[in-house]
Amino acid sequence: MANRAEAYDFSYFEDISSNGAVIDDYALEQPQIEEQPERKVVELPRRQERQREKQETRKKLRRNTTAIVKCMLAILLVGGVSAAALVSEVQLAEINEEISATKNDLEEAQSLEVQLTMQAAQKMTDAQVEQYAVEELGMGKLSSSQVVYLHVTQQDKGTVVQETGGGSWFERMWAAVKGWFA
């Protein structure tokens, strides 16, 4: 491409006077520079700057340490809660294992009870018990000749023959009260 200035010709935007000279607006409007009073700058001694820098770094360090401490506490709290949840889950699993072991023991004991009941029922039936009582023990069924009826028309009374020792006055009084109601 050829270097053409036509694309960048800014002369179309410049103010041209009647004689063809370019008017420079900036030159016409020269700002007046005010003189400012001289500022007095006090430089701090190096020691004060170092102390200020140390104080700033201490503040930053304190902020950082408090943030670190807060983060550590949050991590410890989350870790503690997680550990507690884990321990409770382990305990729950152990208790569930104990429950299922106890259920198995109960089922085995119930099964053993049924077996023993059946064995006892097979060993001695009512007929076998009756036969054993008649043959071995000489027992028999109840007959009417074995029944004796007693008729009591009077009340029985008993008397104490033995005299009791004097005892204490409370025992004698108690005996007298018992005698009134006997």
CA distances from 110 to 22, 101, 107, 115, 120 (A): 120, 14, 5, 9, 15
Give the chain's count of helices (H) and strands (E).
4, 0
What DSSP string describes 138-158?
Answer: ------GGG-------S----
pLDDT score at 122: 81
Which tens digits make up the pLDDT trace of 40-98? 766 656 777 778 788 888 788 778 888 888 999 999 999 999 999 999 999 999 999 99
- Which residues make beta-bridge pairs with 22? 16
pLDDT score at 99: 96
pLDDT score at 130: 87
Distance CA 75, CA 80 (A): 8
pLDDT score at 33: 62
Which tens digits make up the pLDDT trace of 121-132? 788 788 888 888
DSSP code of residue 16:
B
pLDDT at residue 134 greater than cutoff 70:
yes
What's the pTM value of the predicted model, to 2 decimals? Answer: 0.35
Distance CA 106, CA 117 (A): 16
Kindly report the number of other CB atoms within 10 A of residue 133's CB atom. Answer: 13
Which tens digits make up the pLDDT trace of 138-163? 888 888 888 888 877 777 777 776 66
